[in-house]
Structure 1
Amino acid sequence: MALYKLRDFNPDYRNYFDNQDILSFDLYNGSDKIGSIDELLVDDEGRFRYFVINTGVWVFGKKVLLPIGQSRISYSDRRVYVDSLTREQVEQLPEFNNDMLIDYDYEENVRGVYRRPSTATTEDANYSTNVESTGAVDTSSTMAASAGTVDTSASMATPGIYDRDTYDYNRDAALYNMNDRDHQNLRLFEERLIANKTRQKTGEVTVGKHVETQRANVEVPVDKERVVIERGSVTDMGRPVAPGEATFAEGEVARMEVYEEVPDIRKEAFVREEVTVRKEVDHDRAVAEDEIRREELDVHTEGRPVVNKRPEDRI
C-alpha cells in the first residue's frame, strides 16, 4: 500500500488536529526532548500510519519512522510522546529521507524493530499451525521470537504468515491503532461531492451585413413615331384644273411633329427582410459521479466493557 505525506495528501491537514500544526510539535521521551516531528505519513485511505521523527538529540541528523500507535499526542503541550522508544531502536531503524520510495521491505524492517515479544509469539502460534500441515520448521525465526526480536527476512519468507500481497496493518494493531487515551482529539471525516457552477464564455456570435451585387434585366415597351410619305396616282390624271385653283405658292410646307417614348429606368431601395437577434438560455443538467470516502470509528474492546453508542451508531 502506498504512503503519502500528510501535507501533500491534504493541505488542510490542520483540521484533523483542532487547527494545530502537529508537524511542528516536539518529540519527547518522558520528560526529555529527543527530537521533533517532521512529517506524518498516511495510506491510500487517509489513515495515519507513521510519524517521520527527527532524533537529532540521540542520533544526530537521522530521521526514522515511528508507527502512529507508538505515540501519545498532547495538544496542550504541543508534544508527541514516545515513552517506549529507545536509543537502540533508533540506531537499528532504517534511515528515512524525503526522496526515497517506501516499499513493503522497508516497512518490514521498521516493523521488525518495533515488534514486541507478544507480537512475535502470536506469529509463532500462527506459524505452528502451518508447520503441522507442512512439516517444516524455520529454526532461525523461532529463536528470534523467543529472544524478543523478529527477523524480518525470515518472517517474510515464512509461508503461512503473510507476504507483501497478504499483509494488512491490522496484523500489527499495537503499532498502528490509535486509542482514545493517547489520541483524544482525532476527528473522523468523510468526503462529499460539492456541486457548483461557474459562468464561462464558450463563444461569440457576430451578426452583420454585406452587399452582394448582381445584374438585373428589365424590359419596358416604348413607342416611336415615324413619318410615312406615300405617293399615289389620281383617277383623273391629266384633267385640267379650273382657273385660279393652281396657286403655285412658293414655300408652302406641311408640318407634322414626331414623338417617341424614352424608357425611364432607375434603382430604388426597399426593405426586403427584418432580422431580430436575441439570446436564449437552454436549461440542462450536469451529472457528476465520483468515489467519496468516509472515516468510520474502529472500537476494539477486551472482556465485557459497557460501551455507550449514539442511537445512529448502533447496529
Structure 2
Amino acid sequence: MSENMWDYPGTAGHRADADLTGYKVDATDGNIGKVDKHSNDVGSQYIVVDTGVWIFGKEVLLPAGTIVSIDADSRTIQVSRTKEEIKSAPEFDKEKHLGNADYHQQVGTHYGAHRAPGTGTSDRPGQGRI
C-alpha cells in the first residue's frame, strides 16, 4: 500500500474520476457511515464520512491511505481501521479543518500510529502529510 497516508493505495481500486459521495464505508468491525465529501488532490486525498447516529452524527476525516478497497458495484469502501480507532481520531469540523495543515498532521499521526498490520502505511508519528 501507499507509503503516504494522504494518497490512495494503488491496490484500493480508486479511479481519479470516481465520485465516492454516498458510498457506504466499512471499518474492520462494521459500518461507520457514508462518504459526504472526498478529495482526489494528489498528496491530500481523503474521504469525509458522515457517521449518522453511530457517533452522534459527527463527521470524520479518513486519509486515503486508510482505504483497503473501493467496490464501485456495491458502492462500498473498506478501511483498515476499527470503529474505535476512527471514533478516537482528532475531532473534525469541516469549516475549520479542510485544508488545514496542522489538522492533517494530527490526523496523519493518529492513523499512522493505529496502522493496521500489513497495510504498508507509515506507523511513524508525523508521517501523515498534506
1:53 to 49, 55, 63: 49
Q: Is the 8 A contact 2:37 2:49 kept in 1?
A: yes
Cα offset, 1:66, TM superposition: 0.7
Q: Which residue of 1 aligns with 2:10?
A: none
Gaps of 5+ in 2: 1-14, 116-120
Cα 1:78–1:31, aligned 2, differ >3 Å: closer, same or farther?
Answer: farther
Q: Which residue of 1 aligns with 2:93?
A: 97
The separation in 2 between residues aligned to 1:47 and 1:110, in whole angstroms, is 14
Cα offset, 1:57, TM superposition: 5.1
Rg comparison, structure with higher value: 1
Cα offset, 1:113, TM superposition: 1.3
Cα offset, 1:93, TM superposition: 1.4
Q: Is the 8 A contact 1:26 1:37 kept in 2?
A: yes
The separation in 2 between residues aligned to 1:77 and 1:55, in whole angstroms, is 19
Q: Is the 8 A contact 2:24 2:31 kept in 1?
A: yes
The separation in 2 between residues aligned to 1:74 and 1:31, in whole angstroms, is 18
Q: Is the 8 A contact 1:34 1:57 kept in 2?
A: no
The separation in 2 between residues aligned to 1:104 and 1:54, in whole angstroms, is 22
The separation in 2 between residues aligned to 1:97 and 1:42, in whole angstroms, is 19
- 1:263-299 CA deviation, whole Å, 9 max, x = no partner? xxxxxxxxxxxxxxxxxxxxxxxxxxxxxxxxxxxxx
Is 1:111 aligned to residue 114 of structure 2? no
C-alpha RMSD of the superposition: 3.1
Which AA in structure 2 matches 1:119?
Answer: S
Gaps of 5+ in 1: 1-13, 124-149, 156-170, 177-315
**TM-score normalised by L of structure 1:** 0.30
In terms of fraction of residues, the more strand-rich structure is 2
Alignment of structure 1 residues 1-315 onto 2, 5 Å: 16-17=17-18, 21-30=19-28, 32-43=30-41, 49-56=45-52, 58-71=54-67, 72-82=69-79, 84-101=80-97, 102-116=99-113, 119-120=122-123, 123=124, 150=125, 171-172=127-128
Cα offset, 1:56, TM superposition: 2.8
**TM-score normalised by L of structure 2:** 0.65
Which AA in structure 1 matches 2:96?
Answer: M
Q: Is the 8 A contact 1:28 1:34 kept in 2?
A: yes
The separation in 2 between residues aligned to 1:33 and 1:79, in whole angstroms, is 10
Cα offset, 1:103, TM superposition: 1.8
After the TM superposition, which segments of 4 or more aligned residues of structure 1 sit over 4 Å from their partners? none
- 1:109-144 CA deviation, whole Å, 9 max, x = no partner? 101211147834xx5xxxxxxxxxxxxxxxxxxxxx
Cα offset, 1:42, TM superposition: 4.0
More relative contact order in 1 or in 2 (CA 8 Å, sep 6+)?
2
Cα 1:110–1:60, aligned 2, differ >3 Å: closer, same or farther?
Answer: same
Cα offset, 1:99, TM superposition: 1.7
The separation in 2 between residues aligned to 1:87 and 1:105, in whole angstroms, is 23
The separation in 2 between residues aligned to 1:67 and 1:24, in whole angstroms, is 17
Q: Which residue of 2 aligns with 1:293?
A: none
Q: How many residues of Structure 1 are paired with residues of Structure 2 in the alignment?
A: 108
Which AA in structure 2 matches 1:38?
Answer: D
Cα 1:89–1:63, aligned 2, differ >3 Å: closer, same or farther?
Answer: same
In terms of fraction of residues, the more helix-rich structure is 1
Cα offset, 1:34, TM superposition: 2.0
Q: Is the 8 A contact 1:40 1:48 kept in 2?
A: no
